[in-house]
Amino acid sequence: MKIVLQRVTHASVTVDGKISGQIDKGYLLLFGVGKDDTENDCKRLADKIINLRIFSDENDKINLSLKDVGGSLLVVPQFTLYADCRKGNRPNFIQAGSPSEANRLFEYFTEYCRDKGQKVETGIFGADMKVELLNDGPFTLVLE
């Protein structure tokens, strides 16, 4: 599993001209599933993300978590995180999970985060999405 996390002031994802998900302060997560990923990977990364302390406290030290600041998650499925560009000029996606399993784990991840008390908005699996965000910092992390 690969997740690109961006701390944002706001973010949204649009499909066919309609907003499918929109948040204010929080994290935009680009969410990719590999062929060997499991529900345990979802739980481990979700717990890590929810508890990461990357928001500034009153002393301007990065010391607060998503829960501490009442932030939200916008989770966007993105299989292209598994692109392999080492050979040739056209990426291959051999290491990406199958669409059905990737969608199942995407749904599992988002529900797990909701069960942990997080507000979660999403993109639409398999759709052509337009993502807008205001990166705060910028602060971007890659989690695997």
- The DSSP-derived string for 52-83 is -EEEE-TTS-EEEEHHHHT-EEEEEE-GGGG-
Residue pair 138/65 in contact by the 8 Å Cβ criterion: no
Per-residue confidence at 124, pLDDT binned at 50, 70, 90?
Answer: very high
Among the listed residues 9, 38, 80, 140, the single catalytic one is 80
The DSSP secondary-structure symbol of 13 reads E
The single residue listed with the structure tokens 């059905």 is 100
Tokens standing for residue 134: 């205001």
Pairing outcome for strands 26-32 and 72-77: parallel
Measured on CA atoms in the order 23, 26, 31, 37, is the torsion positive or negative? negative
How many domains does the chain contain in total?
A: 1
Please give the model's pTM, rounded to 2 decimal places. Answer: 0.94
For residue 23, which amino acid is it?
I
- Among the listed residues 84, 90, 73, 85, the one whose alpha carbon sits nearest the alpha carbon of residue 35: 84
Which residues form the domain of 92? 2-143
Which CATH number do you get for residue 79? 3.50.80.10
Confidence at residue 82, expressed as pLDDT on a 0 to 100 scale = 94
Q: Is 106 a catalytic residue?
A: no
Among the listed residues 14, 78, 110, 122, the single catalytic one is 78
Confidence at residue 142, expressed as pLDDT on a 0 to 100 scale = 97
Among the listed residues 31, 55, 79, 106, the single catalytic one is 79
What would the mean pLDDT of 53-70 be, rounded to a whole number?
A: 95
Element (H, E) at 100: helix 99-115
Q: Is 6 a catalytic residue?
A: no
Q: Is 9 a catalytic residue?
A: no
